[in-house]
Structure 1
Amino acid sequence: MKNWHVDDVMTQAVVTVTEDTPYRAVVDLLIRHRLSAVPVVDDFGRVTGVVSEADLLRKIEYAGDEKPRLFEGRRRRGERVKADARTAADLMSSPAVAALKGTPIAAAAREMDREGVKRLPVVDDLGRLVGIVSRGDLLKVHLRPDDDIRRDVQEGILHIYLADGGPRVEVTVQDGLVALKGHVDRWSSADIAKRLTRQIAGVVGVVDELEYDYDDSNIHGTGIAFGAA
């Protein structure tokens, strides 16, 4: 069973700017390429920050508002500084929220949600840019063919984790919805099959119609560790 990472869905040809890129040039790049943000890289290709549409809009938001307000917070003061920015170095949010190459797509999705960003630069161990992944890219896993998902369930789960290899279990997949129907030796086997199937890339849901001979649900632990990808 393949574990999907940001490397599998990221865009490798990334539009970037340098720290000395002028404000208007950044605006032009975002509009021309229909982007919401662009990574800022140094001479070695390392990501030093990200400039987003929100960063650029500070110049409009604070236009004509030269004096800081009384008791203005730190965040507002930072936004006001960006309103006077002329280059990417002054505009960018730094350090950049990025994903290390090899990050599972589930972890990348959680990072996007936690940080409230729409895309993540993907970097190598030295911080050099190797790609960029967007929310839309992460959703690509749900375009996987049903036959590929069925094969993952049969070969990556049933044949490995069920004592008899799962010959009595029928797997059907329709638009990413997996149905498991048949017979297994015990409740824990059915539970393992169901839980691991949910973790397969592209699965939108699992219909559990498995029957079992022995109910071991009261025995703690199944011998399998389930970690969040």
Structure 2
Amino acid sequence: MRTWHVSDVMTADVIAVGPDATYRELVDLLAARSINAVPVVDDDRRVLGVVSESDLLRKIEYVGADEPHWFERRRRAQLRKAAGRTATGLMTAPAVVALTSTSVRSAARRMDAAGVKQLSVEDGLGRLVGIVTRGDLLKEHLRTDQQIAADVRAAVHAIVLAENVSAVSTRVERGVVTLAGRVERWSTATLAVRSARLVPGVVEVRDRLTFDYDDHRLADPVPAGFVA
């Protein structure tokens, strides 16, 4: 089963700016390209930070604002951005990045944890090679049911290879997988379902598998402190 990586879904034709790009240049660029953020890179294409629409809005949000009290740390940072004139003063740094080899699912978790809408993508040398957005990460769910079913069957076959593979049937409808049939052991059924869930494009797995032998006690670890 092939795992999808950021390199499979990212936009390689990425727009970037240097640290000296001015506020107006950044506003014009985001508007002209219909994008909501742009990476800031050095001469070697290494990512220094990202300027987003939110960063640029600080200049509007805090125009004429009073100097904050010493304890208003967050507001002080926002006011500094409001006073910024170039990408260096406006950007959010360090940038949240992903490698081309990062899995799509790991990238989604990283994006969610950081509360960002896109990730700059770097190669092994730390150079900017692309951008991946939330929409890009959803591309794996554009796979057809036939493509998903083929990968699910291959994944399940690898699990039940020592058993009767013909006893397991696979049906996929709009990304929802139904596994039905009978296998020898509980652990085999459990692994088959887990493997199916990992196939790119799978929305849900409905487990209709039965088994002859319940080996879950042998498969489960002994509880801490248990004495035989």
Fold shared by both chains (TM-score > 0.5):
yes
**Other structure's SS at 1:51 match:** strand
1:87-129 Cα offsets, whole Å, 9 max, x none, are: 1111011111101220011111111111100000000122100
Report SS of the residue matched to 1:20: coil
Deviation at 1:165, TM superposition (A): 5.9
CA deviations on 1:73-94 (whole Å, 9 max, x unpaired) are 2221111011111111110111
Q: Secondary structure at the match of 1:78?
A: helix
Q: Name the amino acid aligned to 1:52.
A: S
Number of aligned positions between the proteins: 220
Q: 1:225 corresponds to which residue?
A: none
Aligned to 1:69: 68
Match for residue 158 of structure 1? 156
Distance in 1 between the 2:214 and 2:84 partners? 66
DSSP 3-state at the match of 2:139: helix
TM-aligned CA deviation for residue 72 of structure 1: 4.2
Query: CA separation in 2, counterparts of 1:6 and 1:167?
Result: 35
Contact persistence 2:178–2:205 (CA under 8 A): yes
Corresponding position: 1:12 with 2:8? no
Alpha-carbon contact 2:10-2:130 (below 8 Å) kept: yes
Which stretches in structure 1 are left out of the alignment for 5+ residues?
Answer: 223-229
1:83 alignment partner AA: A
Aligned partners of 1:71 and 1:23: how far apart in 2? Answer: 27
Identity of aligned residues (%): 52
State the AA in 2 paired with 1:45.
R
Contact 2:156 2:195 in 1 (8 A): no
**Where do 1:171-182 residues align within 5 Å?**
171-182=170-181
Distance across 2 between alignment mates of 1:9 and 1:72: 43
Matching residue of 1:41: 41
- Separation (CA, whole Å) in 2 of partners of 1:22 and 1:100: 28
Q: Is the 8 A contact 1:154 1:171 kept in 2?
A: yes
User: TM-score, length-normalised on structure 1?
Assistant: 0.92
In 1: Cα distance, 2:159 partner to 2:219 partner: 18
Distance 2:194 2:99 in 1: 27
Report matched runs for 1:117-132 at 5 Å: 117-132=116-131
Q: Which runs of 4+ in 1 moved over 4 A?
A: none
Instruction: Return the TM-score normalized by structure 2.
Output: 0.93
Is the Cα–Cα contact under 8 Å of residues 159 and 165 in structure 1 kept in the other structure?
no
